[in-house]
Structure 1
Amino acid sequence: MKVVFASPARYFTDAAPIGNGRLGALVWGGVTSEKLQLNHDTLWTGGPGNYTNPKAPTVLSEVRSLVDKGLYPEATAVAYGLSGDETQSYQPLGDIDLAFGEHIKYTNYKRYLDLESATVNVTYSVGEVLYSREHFSSNPHQVIATKISANKPGAVSCTVSLATPLDHRIRVTDANEIIMEGSCPGEKPAGDGNASNHPPGMKFCAILYLLTSGANGQVQVLNDKMLKLDGADSAVLLLAAATSFEGPFVKPSESTLDPVTSAFTTLNMARSMSYAQLKAYHMDDYQSLFQRVSLQLSRGSNGVLGGSTLAHLPENISQDAAVSDCTVQMVDCSRLNELNNSEKPTVDRIISFRHDEDPSLVELLFQFGRYLLISCSRPGTQVSNLQGIWNNETNAPWGTAPHPNINLQMNYWPSLPCNLSECQDPLFDFIGSLSVNGAKTAKVNYGANGWVSHQVTDLWAKTSPDAGDPSWALWPMGGPWLATHLWEHYSFTMDREFLERTAYPLLEGSASFLLSWLIEGHEGYLETNPSTSPEHYFIAPDGKKASVSYSTTMDMSIIREVFSAVLLSADILGKSSTDVVQRIKAALPRLPPIKIGRDGTIMEWVCIYLLFFYLSK
């Protein structure tokens, strides 16, 4: 099962992703040069922040008053005062660059991501020499491994180097190691993406180790920064990386971790093994997750037996026999088509899907989604960000920050139905960190109990509203929506210990905030005020654009789900008599019902306003 590319990558999005949850790379697959664009999941700008706003209660009171008067555009304007600071930004670690020479004439180029082995392979021919490169990111040994080989002895030659857009220094040791040390900006880069104008933040180290085979292979050091390999039979590259990240509550300047020591410790364990051993461990680990689920889809209507199929059969052939023979032929034909399709560039298969609904492509995309989750979220790593763990920019769109207004949840929706429950562990660890910072935000900003988190967050578990437009920045339902994943995990696993020790305390804290956030409102209902529908505007009765009102259906649906999860959990754990549970039982009947609009659709807002999209990602 392969994602196939017809040529080397021209853009970041053309490259093939590999990852072990912490260390990721995008393989470009060039011929004259190869690039592995590197990422480490903890390499972020900034440090722990103050996610409270002492002025927020006064602004909140004014916004609520304007909403009660039906002055929604005015409430939207005042709600800017509830904004917090921007999130920090996920940074690229750098690149492994391999230069093979100029003006290489090659044929038979192939590049593919093998989902069953979690390897990226590149092959091509130069004259009579067949070159191959294989890449994978090992979770058991926490390294990226590359093997370069040829079918002719002494044919492997290249220049090897490391690069990064971040502040750094590079040195070479022992003619087979390149060490790159550096630091992230202490604050998010400005719009120009220049990382050099900021105080140092998170420290990092990447070490690239080169191992060659062949009697005539030679390695030279160039400018104390690069390695030049000539005449080897094959070469193996191992990359280990580490940062000084010591948790979301520790400032980079106060970290006691030395990334150089950490990277060398990891590398020393990996290079004590052969490439074949590293790959075997990698395969065992990866396939223990990937092989849990298979998906096989039948052909569509063009591959289904119909009544007319039997109408023209020879008279001396029974219908039962004919059906059996025809079915075998059709299955064989289907498998042949799928085999042929598996060698086609995947982009061509996507384009042709419009007129040929190939079910094997659907299977491939399904398993590709599972592959990405396995590759970017493992126990002990950070939560999957807006781009998993892959990013090539110092000032990437939205900082590649996790967005709990749907994107972060979407990353983890496949984890349970696709039998990857362990991949949720980083999400639960992250929710725990959000609950710590979010308790401060809830108390100071809103005078509320429990914990809250808004529409966007980052490595440092930011819980305050984002800076900017309330249509997306002001949304305190991010934390509650994330909390529903805790109950879903228990529902799938029936892990009572998880429910009692991890899920219930976080769910109860989220419910406590929601009970504080709900206020007396219209027609005797409890309401959320202010309330937004993330990244959406509506047209107010005066014809003006607004985003702030009260009791959106999204708010109420999430609140009901959290309250229900707490009640069910409390019943299982024998906590049904607690104050929180009793308050939830009293609040549930007072939540406004879902309304149906004149067009038969569910109304997102309590009045009939014109909806249009604002910043949908």
Structure 2
Amino acid sequence: MNTKLWYAVPAASFCEAMPIGNGSLGAMVYGKVPEEYITLNLDTLWSGTGRRKELAIDKVALLHAKKLCMSGKYYEAQKIIEKKLLGQYNESYMPLGILRYQYCDVKEYTSYKRELDLEHAVVSTEFTYDRKYYRSEIFASYPDNAIILHFFCDTKKKLNVTFELESRLHSISMENGKNGITIIGNAPTHVEPNYVKSDNPIVYESGNLGMPFCCSMKVKIKDGMVHCVNGKVFVEKASEILVLLAASDGYQSDTIEIDFSMNNCIKKVDSIFQKVEKITYQQIMNRHLEDYQPLFKQSKLYLNEEDNGKTTDRRLKDFKEGASDFGLYCLYYHYNRYLLISSSRRGTQPSNLQGIWNESIRPVWSSNWTININTEMNYWLAGICNLTECFEPLLSMVEQISKVGQETAKNYFHCRGWVANHNVDIWRHTEPVSGMAKYAFWPMGGVWLSVQIYDYFKYTSDTELLEKRIYPIMKGAVQFSLDWLEKGQDGRYHTPLSTSPENTFRDWDEKECSVSYSSTMDISLIKELFKNYANASNILGIEDELLEQVRMKSLLLPEYQVGKNGQLQEWIEDFTEEDPAHRHFSALVGFYPGTIINIYDTPELIESVKHFLDRRLSYGGGHIGWSCAWLINFFARLGDGDKALRFLNNLLIKSSYDNLFDLHPPLGENEGEREVFQIDGNLGAASGIANMLLRSCYGRIELLPALPTQWENGEVTGLLAEGGIEVDIKWREGKLIAAGISTKYEKRVQVKYQNQVWNMYLKADKREIINCRFV
């Protein structure tokens, strides 16, 4: 089975290195010999001070902009927004530090290999020098909240290694006993986004007002000696070395504030060491595997694969040149699930634009949570790929955003409930940021997040979770939506100021514009939210005035429109788009990940969805990793497995680094742009693969709804259907031969494969088998 990435040379760059993480601590392992270089991250280490950024509210300007927009004066409304209604940029995710170590007596080496073992979540590096075998292992333990390194040589007392820690942030290094090093410091008080021109983009205010942090390592050895000199740890003549690395900062997740006490940071790190120092390497490893493997093993993909013995970079190169490699699809699926497990665990921050792996003080797009597609895409796989445990950080963040967003809804938009716009940082910024209306002004962020977290319930059927945590969030987003909607001259309720994220059109005066009213995305998201809220209310037995308002306004939302090219219209009018190959497919959010547009209830719209896709692709759309991943999901939902596979191939061929990280190219919109790793393409691709093999969003379980012709033989285990139903599927020669279905709760389900339908009664924890050998 394809669960290992391996290479015959060390990594030369960040996007050749191999990631490890426990949701909080992350590291990129280069595997360099004799001098290794490992970049470190901590999920809560951000620039900023925790001080609330109060936006000066111009109520008259907001009302004026809405009036202009609803009367068709879109460009004038946009200018008011950009002049008077935007705020400040949010903060940036910081690199923690760098761990360096050097084999003191190793020079020319042979038999080199570095490997990421997805089954064990361990990166190893091995080589031979002077007829001696050396091996190092590194992993991030969630149970022990530490990064663990283990060094071994097959000849006793031959390990001579030096270690040092450093940080690019303002920091100092100090010795920690005879066997450790600690760095302490502060993050910047402000960092301008990478796309903003500034003479002073990285700011450190006097008084150490940025986030305090502490990163520490300790060394344990078998045989030999260890001592510290000038901020380095020297190990001599050891047979084995165990390195423990822990970190903390001053972020207070319950209050979204900073504890500026450096002593408290140090104490938190010391408490981690006190627990982990008492146990052996094997015990630490066992605890790590007992935690990690149940998650990873919940779903596996097998295709007609063979072990070709090639390194991963060679496999990818050959694939790009046209070689067939079914195992590469499996490896990619398993790797992408690994990335979510490694970047999103209970008690951590959710996976951001780069998961938890960032090496830059000014990362691209601040490595924040961009909630007009990217954050949501990160979690599309959490349900269907059977990683519902990984939803928890997203739900926790949305709970916090919903509280901060109440003030923004009240003071900025004059609405009940809560709101968020397109960017969120660790300080839970919910106001429009600075810059341009096409991205900054998008008050549907809270609506989409509310729709996304409802998936957590749909895939678990946890009514207590729904009642106590998810429903209150949805209710606040519903209140905002009801108040934000305004009745137009056509008698329908519209969003009075609207954008289709980051896209622009030519208005009737040929001016480039982004603002209109009732973009298709706005209306789709509100329809999806209202539908989910009504369903949740029914499940919880709630009947109240708010629900009545939802029902009434649901009937009076704008209808979908089909444009002159047969496409689902993106805006309220059939404008000409400025960029017909635009990376966002916002108009189709009601089709995927939403279900408002579907083959059963709105069959008349499916052709317009296809025309939208065909038109966008004919101009070169889908050229960016996450955009390509969205296409995989679209075509899977359309039941077109061959087109879905085409874009999965494109993602691997055009948008993947050698370590299989997703590559985001420069957009050409700002100076200094560069290609960068962005995790959404990885995570969105995993959901796309799963959606080719299972569909459950329409009230039934559909098996192999979009199986690619090339995938003649295969098996997938542990996919999750809505309702928390686990599904295993096996097929041969493109036909289903068997499926296993199980659930924790008694359920009646309908299962469909092509023209065959099974109505089944599932008993709790009992696996039912469908045998289709003669289909």
Which residue is 1:339 aligned to? 307
Which residue is 2:753 aligned to? none
Which residue is 1:37 aligned to? 39
The worse-fitting range, judged by mean Cα deviation, of 242-251 and 498-507 is 242-251
Which residue is 2:213 aligned to? 204
Cα distance change of structure 1 residues 56 and 7 upon mapping to structure 2, 3 Å threshold: farther
C-alpha separation between the residues in 2 aligned to 1:490 and 1:458?
A: 25
The letter for the 2-side match of 1:348 is R
**Cα deviation 1:325-369 (Å, max 9, x = unaligned):** xxxxxxxxx5xxx212xx422232223224233221111111111
1:573 aligns with 2:540: yes
**Cα deviation 1:472-523 (Å, max 9, x = unaligned):** 0000111110101232221111111011111111101100000011001242
The letter for the 2-side match of 1:4 is W
**Residues 302-313 of structure 1 mapped to structure 2, 5 A cutoff:** none
Cα distance change of structure 1 residues 29 and 15 upon mapping to structure 2, 3 Å threshold: same
Candidates 240, 244, 250, aligned match of 1:244: 250
C-alpha separation between the residues in 2 aligned to 1:52 and 1:564?
A: 34
The worse-fitting range, judged by mean Cα deviation, of 150-159 and 427-436 is 150-159
Alpha carbons 2:301, 2:330 under 8 Å: kept: yes
Alpha carbons 2:139, 2:147 under 8 Å: kept: yes
C-alpha separation between the residues in 2 aligned to 1:148 and 1:188?
A: 38
Which residue is 2:95 aligned to? 92
Alpha carbons 1:167, 1:195 under 8 Å: kept: no
C-alpha separation between the residues in 1 aligned to 2:13 and 2:201?
A: 19
| Aligned partner of residue 18 in structure 1, secondary structure | strand
C-alpha separation between the residues in 1 aligned to 2:518 and 2:96?
A: 43
| Aligned partner of residue 490 in structure 2, secondary structure | helix
Candidates 222, 235, 238, aligned match of 2:241: 235
Which residue is 1:106 aligned to? 109
C-alpha separation between the residues in 2 aligned to 1:158 and 1:254?
A: 35
C-alpha separation between the residues in 2 aligned to 1:382 and 1:498?
A: 19
Cα distance change of structure 1 residues 580 and 191 upon mapping to structure 2, 3 Å threshold: farther
Structure with higher Rg: it is 1
Which residue is 1:463 aligned to? 430
Candidates 229, 232, 238, aligned match of 1:226: 232
Which residue is 1:22 aligned to? 24
Give the deviation of 1:64 after TM superposition.
Answer: 1.5
C-alpha separation between the residues in 2 aligned to 1:195 and 1:348?
A: 43
The letter for the 1-side match of 2:124 is N
Cα distance change of structure 1 residues 9 and 518 upon mapping to structure 2, 3 Å threshold: same
Alpha carbons 1:39, 1:390 under 8 Å: kept: yes
Candidates 158, 162, 173, aligned match of 1:159: 162
Which residue is 1:388 aligned to? 355
Alpha carbons 1:248, 1:460 under 8 Å: kept: no
| Aligned partner of residue 481 in structure 2, secondary structure | helix
Cα distance change of structure 1 residues 534 and 488 upon mapping to structure 2, 3 Å threshold: same
Cα distance change of structure 1 residues 266 and 109 upon mapping to structure 2, 3 Å threshold: same
C-alpha separation between the residues in 2 aligned to 1:52 and 1:470?
A: 19
**Residues 122-141 of structure 1 mapped to structure 2, 5 A cutoff:** 122-141=125-144
Alpha carbons 2:124, 2:135 under 8 Å: kept: yes
Candidates 418, 424, 441, aligned match of 2:385: 418
C-alpha separation between the residues in 2 aligned to 1:255 and 1:466?
A: 30
1:432 aligns with 2:399: yes
| Aligned partner of residue 530 in structure 1, secondary structure | coil
The letter for the 2-side match of 1:219 is V
Candidates 69, 75, 78, aligned match of 1:67: 69
C-alpha separation between the residues in 1 aligned to 2:75 and 2:99?
A: 51
The letter for the 2-side match of 1:171 is M
C-alpha separation between the residues in 2 aligned to 1:538 and 1:486?
A: 31
Give the deviation of 1:436 after TM superposition.
Answer: 0.7
Give the deviation of 1:427 after TM superposition.
Answer: 0.7
Which residue is 1:515 aligned to? 482
Alpha carbons 2:48, 2:190 under 8 Å: kept: yes
C-alpha separation between the residues in 2 aligned to 1:213 and 1:274?
A: 11
C-alpha separation between the residues in 2 aligned to 1:382 and 1:134?
A: 26
| Aligned partner of residue 61 in structure 2, secondary structure | helix
The letter for the 2-side match of 1:201 is G
Which residue is 1:281 aligned to? 287
Which residue is 1:13 aligned to? 15
Which residue is 2:510 aligned to? 543
Identity %: 34
The worse-fitting range, judged by mean Cα deviation, of 381-390 and 448-457 is 381-390
Candidates 446, 470, 488, aligned match of 2:413: 446
C-alpha separation between the residues in 2 aligned to 1:292 and 1:615?
A: 33
Which residue is 1:118 aligned to? 121
The letter for the 1-side match of 2:65 is V
TM-score, structure 1 as length reference: 0.89
Which residue is 1:269 aligned to? 275
The letter for the 2-side match of 1:27 is V
**Cα deviation 1:87-116 (Å, max 9, x = unaligned):** 111111101110224882122211111100
Candidates 576, 580, 596, aligned match of 2:562: 596
C-alpha separation between the residues in 1 aligned to 2:399 and 2:516?
A: 30
| Aligned partner of residue 200 in structure 1, secondary structure | coil
Give the deviation of 1:49 after TM superposition.
Answer: 4.2
The letter for the 2-side match of 1:339 is D
The letter for the 1-side match of 2:97 is G
1:297 aligns with 2:303: yes
Q: Tell me, which stretches of 5 or more residues in structure 2 are unaligned?
A: 193-197, 585-663, 665-775
1:586 aligns with 2:552: yes
C-alpha separation between the residues in 1 aligned to 2:199 and 2:363?
A: 10
Give the deviation of 1:556 after TM superposition.
Answer: 0.5
Cα distance change of structure 1 residues 82 and 615 upon mapping to structure 2, 3 Å threshold: farther
Structure 1 or 2: more helix by fraction: 1
| Aligned partner of residue 536 in structure 1, secondary structure | coil
Cα distance change of structure 1 residues 191 and 140 upon mapping to structure 2, 3 Å threshold: farther
Q: Tell me, which stretches of 5 or more residues in structure 1 are unaligned?
A: 299-333
**Residues 491-510 of structure 1 mapped to structure 2, 5 A cutoff:** 491-510=458-477
Which residue is 1:610 aligned to? 576
Alpha carbons 2:127, 2:133 under 8 Å: kept: yes
C-alpha separation between the residues in 1 aligned to 2:30 and 2:61?
A: 50
